[in-house]
Amino acid sequence: MKPGYYFAKLLKKLRGKAIRNSHIDATSKVEAGSEIVDACFDKHSFCGYGCEIINCQIGSFCSIANHVIIGGGMHPMQWVSSSPAFYAGRDSIRAKFSEHQRPAPRRTVIGHDVWIGERALIKQGVNIGTGAVVGMGSVVTRDVEPYAVVAGCPARVIRHRFEPALVRRLLASQWWLLDEGVLRRAAAHATDPEAFLREIGA
């Protein structure tokens, strides 16, 4: 492996990360270059490099790829102008003709075991159900049901990971809440959902 490769990797890591008013579980990870504000990561979840995650609840066992944007501000389209020159707060421009309060931002909720592909954009206030998959580059503007696979701009359901009966059983099992000792034993069957559910007694 060439030294240049390791040097480039080092530079990537040295960018640091910005985390404010957030809780990241000790088993979870935020990669360098990411900004996390008013967010919560449950256990065994991660986000990749260069993500921006604002006002968001993220469940356990979630995989968020590089350069994903979740949440963030919205401009008031029903006002005379959507410009920050008319609402309160510090912004990219200096002028303030008035300082009206914008509606409070809505919290985005990501369920458990969700996989979000690279450069996906997820609108403020959206709920993504447990087990869902969001394809790379998708623009998610509406709620996503559990175990659905969505992609596109705007994102639409492509298929579901499992048949409805199996989805119901997985959701009812709440396997992501199990004791880690139980999960370690059941992990031998992670490639077979039916066997996994039998192992945990679901």
Whether residue 96 contacts residue 43, with contact meaning beta carbons closer than 8 Å, is answered with no
67: annotated active-site residue: no
CB 155 within 8 A of CB 134: yes
Written as one letter, the residue type at 63 is S
Find tokens 């959206």 and name the residue: 126
Q: Helix (H, G, I), strand (E, B), or coil: what is residue 28?
A: coil
Of 23, 44, 67, 75, which is the active-site residue? 75
φ/ψ (deg, to 5) at 144: -120, 130
Residues that are catalytic: 75
